[in-house]
Structure 1
Amino acid sequence: MNRKLICYLLSSLLLLLNCNKVMSASWEITYPRTSSDSDKSTDYPLKVLALALEQTGVNFQLIPSEKHYTQGKNLSRLKDNREINVVWSMTDRQREKDLLPIRIPIYKGLIGWRLFLIREDMADRFKYIQKVDHLLKLSPIQGRDWPDTKILQANSFNVVTNINHSALGPMLSNAQGDFFPRSMLEIWDEIETLQTDNKLIIQDSLGLQYPAAMYFFVNNQNRPLAHLIRTGLEKAVANGKFDKLFNQTYQSYIDRTKLKKRKFYRLKNTFLPSETPLDRKELWFKPN
Structure 2
Amino acid sequence: MKSCWAMVLVWLLGINVFAAHASGPGVDVLRMVPKQSETDVSHAFLMDAVTAAMENTVDDFGPYQIEMMPIPLNQGLILHLLEFPGVLDLVASAPTEERETTFRAIRVPLMMGLLGYRMMLVHPDRIDEFNSFTKPEQLKSLVACQGAQWPDADLLENQGYRVYRVEGYEEMFHFVRDGTCDYFPRAITEGYGELEAFNQKHPDAPLAKFDRILLHYFVPLYFFTGQHNYELAARIELGLQRAIDSGELKKLLEQNPVTQSAFPLSKWKESIVFKVANPDLSKSTPIYQAHYWLQIPATVYQP
TM-score by length of 1: 0.86
Amino acid in structure 2 at the alignment position of 1:56: T
Amino acid in structure 2 at the alignment position of 1:271: D
Note if 1:258 corresponds to 2:267: yes
Match of 1:171, SS state, is helix
Correspondence for 1:10: none
Note if 1:271 corresponds to 2:275: no
1:109-129 deviation digits (Å, cap 9, x = unpaired):
111100011111111211221
Correspondence for 1:47: 48
Deviation of the 1:196 alpha carbon: 7.6
Correspondence for 1:32: 33
Q: Pick closer, same or farther for the CA change 1:38–1:198 going to 2, 3 Å.
A: closer
Q: Pick closer, same or farther for the CA change 1:42–1:180 going to 2, 3 Å.
A: same
1:127-180 deviation digits (Å, cap 9, x = unpaired):
221111111111111111111111111111110111100100111111001111
- 1:170/1:196 contact within 8 Å kept: no
Note if 1:165 corresponds to 2:166: no
Distance (Å, rounded) in 2 between the aligned partners of 1:48 and 1:63: 15
Distance (Å, rounded) in 1 between the aligned partners of 2:43 and 2:55: 18
Distance (Å, rounded) in 2 between the aligned partners of 1:152 and 1:196: 31
Match of 1:140, SS state, is strand
Q: Which residue of the other structure, out of 234, 243, 248, is the alignment partner of 1:241?
A: 248
CA RMSD of aligned residues (A): 2.0
Note if 1:214 corresponds to 2:218: no
Correspondence for 2:185: 181
Q: Pick closer, same or farther for the CA change 1:181–1:39 going to 2, 3 Å.
A: closer
> Percent identical across equivalent pairs?
27
Distance (Å, rounded) in 1 between the aligned partners of 2:68 and 2:51: 14
Match of 1:258, SS state, is helix
Note if 1:230 corresponds to 2:237: yes
Distance (Å, rounded) in 2 between the aligned partners of 1:66 and 1:199: 30
Amino acid in structure 1 at the alignment position of 2:26: A
1:201-249 deviation digits (Å, cap 9, x = unpaired):
1114111000010011110111111111112222222233223322322
Correspondence for 1:15: none
Distance (Å, rounded) in 2 between the aligned partners of 1:28 and 1:251: 29
| Correspondence list, 1:139-154, <5 A | 139-154=143-158
Match of 1:203, SS state, is strand
Q: Pick closer, same or farther for the CA change 1:156–1:30 going to 2, 3 Å.
A: same
Determine which structure has more spread, i.e. the larger CA radius of gyration. Answer: 1
- 1:72/1:145 contact within 8 Å kept: yes
TM-score by length of 2: 0.82
Give the total of aligned pairs: 265
Q: Pick closer, same or farther for the CA change 1:191–1:272 going to 2, 3 Å.
A: same
Distance (Å, rounded) in 1 between the aligned partners of 2:266 and 2:153: 23
Distance (Å, rounded) in 1 between the aligned partners of 2:100 and 2:244: 22
Correspondence for 2:99: 95
Q: Which residue of the other structure, out of 73, 78, 83, is the alignment partner of 1:79?
A: 83
- 1:206/1:264 contact within 8 Å kept: yes
Note if 1:199 corresponds to 2:199: no
Match of 1:270, SS state, is coil
Match of 1:205, SS state, is strand
Deviation of the 1:82 alpha carbon: 6.2
What stretches of structure 1 of length at least 5 have no aligned partner? 1-23
Amino acid in structure 1 at the alignment position of 2:231: P
| Correspondence list, 1:54-133, <5 A | 54-57=55-58, 58-81=62-85, 83-133=87-137
Q: Pick closer, same or farther for the CA change 1:130–1:39 going to 2, 3 Å.
A: closer
Correspondence for 1:21: none
- 2:136/2:274 contact within 8 Å kept: yes
